[in-house]
Amino acid sequence: MNLQTKYMNLDLKNPIIAGASPLTTSVESILRLEDAGAAAVVMHSLFEEQINHESLALDHFLYANNESYAEALDFLPETGSFNNIDAQQHIDELSRIKKSVDIPVIASINGVSSGGWIKYVKRFEEAGADAIELNITYIPTDLNMKPDAVEQLYVDVVKDVCSSCSLPVSVKMNPYFSAPANMAYQLVEAGASGLVLFDNPVRVDIDLENLSPIQRANLTYSSRLSETLRWNSILYNKLDASLCASTGVHEYEDVLKALMSGANAVQMASALLQDGEGHITRVLQDLERWMEEKEYSSVEQMIGSISLEHTSNRDAYERSSYMQALQSYKR
């Protein structure tokens, strides 16, 4: 049984990548993920806010339009209030990880401005990272900011990061653009070699005891797989980039569906946080068993086998499937 796949320039022994989470912060936990069978890991992110730099670009994006609204500022973390892990420590940990494991290590960087922090990408490369995953989570709150300005912000960051290193760069997207397919195309044109579909936003809530806003990291379930299936299947074979499914990949069935929809690989975070690193071993065993039963000999065979590649009018297909789903519902 051949479980190998290619994700960007990376030859993976199987399609399961451990996504960025607290499990990918240290050599010890990454060794456990490798033992369990992970084909690669994405290190937890280094945030732009954690990088001590002279640039005021981030402050501009976060605060420029909110200074006069005290209540709006309550929703924003002060840059100083971040757990200020020294960026150097992060690079040192990456270096230790690279010396300890054989699987590819993807460094993750999370930022929104085209500021001086981007120079850290080169440091990742020097520390041995095999690729970079870029997470640009920007919530535009300014009523005057037009969609094309938001898109341009993403494109500019991708261009800057890609020109700062010679590593392949993947972009962890969110599905909330008005035209995700075009956004994906723009990101690839800007230099991205891979798209991670999708990030899962933190959960916004209100603490009724303290009467304050809170944001929490959000664990997922298999039922959250839908958006990645939709967009993998729409984008499969349309872009000069690899696709990686993320959000809702928990069981072997999810891995199969993600591959068939067009993903070259998958990422798991919540499932591993919930069930431990050994979950990967179980999923891989189940995956092989299923493939044997159904007489598949390789993962490659399955990639994109149930995508929209051969659908001539994708908009019409999506629209009619949507209508049928609603009209055929029976109580």
Ligand X SMILES: Cc1cc2nc3c(=O)[nH]c(=O)nc-3n(C[C@H](O)[C@H](O)[C@H](O)COP(=O)(O)O)c2cc1C
Q: Which tokens hold the place of 150?
A: 């938001």
d(Cα 241, Cα 185) in Å, to the nearest integer? 9
Counting contacts by CB under 6 A, is residue 39 touching ligand X?
no
Counting contacts by CB under 6 A, is residue 200 touching ligand X?
yes
H or E stretch including 219? none
Counting contacts by CB under 6 A, is residue 106 touching ligand X?
no
Pick 98 or 172: Cβ nearer ligand X: 172
Quick one: how far is CA 206 from the chain centroid? 26
The tokens 């054989």 sit on which residue?
A: 102
Counting contacts by CB under 6 A, is residue 199 touching ligand X?
yes
Binders in 130-149 for ligand X, by CB under 6 A: 135
Q: Tell which one of 16, 17, 19, 260 touches ligand X (CB under 6 A).
A: 19
Burial readout 24-53 (b: 16 or more C-beta within 10 A, e: otherwise): bbebebbebbbebbbbbbbbbbbbbbbbee
Contacts of 302 (CB under 8 A, 6+ apart): 256, 259, 260, 296
| Closest CB 89 distance from ligand X, rounded Å | 15
Contact region with ligand X (CB under 6 A), list: 13-21, 121-129, 236-244, 285-293: 13-21
| Closest CB 137 distance from ligand X, rounded Å | 8
Counting contacts by CB under 6 A, is residue 85 touching ligand X?
no
∠102-266-89 over CA atoms, to 5°?
Answer: 50
Pick 265 or 296: Cβ nearer ligand X: 265
What is the residue type of 264? N
Counting contacts by CB under 6 A, is residue 172 touching ligand X?
yes
Q: Tell which one of 220, 228, 233, 261 touches ligand X (CB under 6 A).
A: 220
| Closest CB 265 distance from ligand X, rounded Å | 13
Contacts of 297 (CB under 8 A, 6+ apart): 1, 2, 291
Counting contacts by CB under 6 A, is residue 110 touching ligand X?
yes
Contacts of 233 (CB under 8 A, 6+ apart): 261, 262, 306, 307, 308
Q: Tell which one of 3, 8, 20, 131 touches ligand X (CB under 6 A).
A: 20
Contacts of 204 (CB under 8 A, 6+ apart): 213, 214, 215
Contact region with ligand X (CB under 6 A), list: 3-11, 18-26, 161-169, 316-324: 18-26
Q: Tell which one of 168, 248, 262, 304 touches ligand X (CB under 6 A).
A: 248
Binding site for ligand X (CB under 6 A): 19-22, 44-45, 108, 110, 135, 172, 199-200, 217, 219-220, 246-249, 268-271, 273
